[in-house]
Structure 1
Amino acid sequence: MTSHRPETLEHAPLGRDSAYPEHYDAGLLYPIPRAANRAPLGISEEALPFVGEDEWHAFELSWLNARGKPMVAVARFRLPADSPNLIESKSWKLYLNSFNQTRLESREALIATLEADLAAAAGAPVTVELFGVDDAALAPQRLPGDCLDDLDIEVNDYTPSAEHLVVGEAIVEETLHSHLLKSNCPVTGQPDWGSVLIRYRGPRLDREGLLRYLISYRQHQDFHEHCVEHIFTDLLARARPERLLVMARYVRRGGLDISPWRGTPGETPPLPLRLARQ
């Protein structure tokens, strides 16, 4: 087993051929420091402008019980936004697959192992829940608030630009969402499809401008977590709301989906919540 240490993407398993492990190996987890991507947004690790979590679901989790019988579950992980590292998704998948031929005494033993390994990689406590594959807690739901997607707008800009964000003088409290979010993996260029929810109290956001802004991520290459932080910091700077919550629900890839959220202190998202296409 290798030790956990943040490195650059140059050595990450993402975008490379990989031999899938047959036995447990915590050293497969690949941490990536958050600070490098936050610095260009003016985010200081010592004074984060938000609270939040990265919520992951794993749909390809299996292990052997003490008698060698395969067990399966869906796992939900919650990684705090103030952890020094995020965990690269392909390394996470390889790590989870390393349990496929590993015998464990109980579900509790699996949870304890997952929490310890993920916390070591992230540099902060990570919570783990296991669900049966037909558990009602995983049933799809709908995002609350008004959907922006039926607005008839012209779009010519597909790289993030806060110039699209326009606010009025009226103070409102509203929840808006869109299913048109798309960004791209910063290593492989593969598309990442998602939905985004914005809940705020402050000067009214022009809805057409907000939708153009969200669509402008369409050719942007970045991790899911950093896209959400980018949206949050742009909205905070341009609209100066009293309260703000930004939450994305990304479609799964490789058996993993991720739903990061960032909010001003005191804000909490409508969790747990999963969408039909997740």
Structure 2
Amino acid sequence: MSTPEHSPLGKTTVYADRYDPSLLFPIPRQAKRDEIGVSAPLPFHGVDIWNAYELSWLDARGKPRVALAEFRVPATSPNIIESKSFKLYLNGFAQERIDDAQRLAATLHRDLSAAAGAEIEVLLSEASAKAHAVIDLEGESVDALDIAIDDYGPPRADYLRADANDIVDEALVSDLLRSNCPVTGQPDWGSVQIRYRGPRIDREGLLRYLVSFRNHNEFHEQCVERIFVDVIRHCAPQQLSVYARYTRRGGLDINPFRASAEAAPGNPRGARQ
């Protein structure tokens, strides 16, 4: 049964260093989508961008190789892949001899696509600072607002409101997003960008809403979908995208993107990533 309680999370684990695709642990998305009233057809487009910073293998002559990996999991995939199982799977390549990076990428694509139930894009690149420069999320930060806050969860969508008489096209950003792993309780830290066109969203209400995730237990992907749905319902934007960039854990960061229109987001590495 693919539920978080049956995953490797929160359990003592032997870290294998040989290839084993059975380590991947898929978790169906729909149960959490049911909680926020999301069913097919989905009210959003999107992708989950995973970055792996601890990928290594042996070449045909036994010399270690390293690379950075980017994985794009479509929001339409029936499953997410539990992050610790993803880490264990990637670690399994450490002592595997693989002829070249192309063959490794093909193996990753095959195994991850099977686990997610959809085609996963895989991109391997050199560990170059020039190719992976730190870039801020575009938009106006709401974090400096001079307000008192004493509500840290559960998420309060009623904080969200918008002025129907003031139509704008803007992006708002916060670095104060925090939620918790629903299995281990470990904190997940992130930055979030809300780009929209429509009634002007009240900044104070938005900041209070985002902070109300602080003690909330939910996976990254589920938090972003909750934010998207809540903003749509309470602020009625004509167009909306929500992009969260979470800090890495175990050599992986997860960056969900949801939008009202099809879009291919960039992969801007943040200062905390």
TM-score, normalised relative to structure 2: 0.97
Amino acid at match of 1:40: E
1:141 alignment partner, SS class: coil
Q: Which runs of no fewer than 5 residues in structure 1 stay unpaired?
A: 1-5
Cα contact 1:26–1:117 (8 A) shared by 2: yes
Amino acid at match of 1:174: E
Q: Which runs of no fewer than 5 residues in structure 2 stay unpaired?
A: none
Tell me how far apart the structure 2 counterparts of residues 156 and 34 of structure 1 sit (CA, whole Å): 31
Structure 1 residue 82 corresponds to structure 2 residue 72: no
Tell me how far apart the structure 2 counterparts of residues 205 and 135 of structure 1 sit (CA, whole Å): 37
Tell me how far apart the structure 2 counterparts of residues 114 and 243 of structure 1 sit (CA, whole Å): 34
Tell me how far apart the structure 1 counterparts of residues 114 and 15 of structure 2 sit (CA, whole Å): 22
Tell me how far apart the structure 2 counterparts of residues 143 and 156 of structure 1 sit (CA, whole Å): 27
Offset, 1:268 = 4.4
Structure 1 residue 227 corresponds to structure 2 residue 223: yes
Amino acid at match of 1:259: N
Tell me how far apart the structure 2 counterparts of residues 210 and 277 of structure 1 sit (CA, whole Å): 22
TM-score, normalised relative to structure 1: 0.96
**Residue deviations 1:208-228 (CA, integer Å, cap 9, x gap):** 100000111000000000000
Counterparts of residues 1-278 of structure 1 (less than 5 Å): 7-44=2-39, 46-159=40-153, 160-169=155-164, 170-269=166-265, 271-278=266-273
Identity between Structure 1 and Structure 2 (%): 57
Q: What's the C-alpha RMSD, in Å, of the aligned pairs?
A: 0.9
1:248 alignment partner, SS class: strand
Tell me how far apart the structure 1 counterparts of residues 37 and 255 of structure 2 sit (CA, whole Å): 23
Tell me how far apart the structure 2 counterparts of residues 138 and 26 of structure 1 sit (CA, whole Å): 28
* Compared CA separation, residues 268 and 78, structure 1 to 2 (3 A): closer
2:109 alignment partner, SS class: helix
**Residue deviations 1:222-258 (CA, integer Å, cap 9, x gap):** 0000000000000011111110000000000110001
1:232 alignment partner, SS class: helix
Work out the number of aligned pairs and report it.
Answer: 271
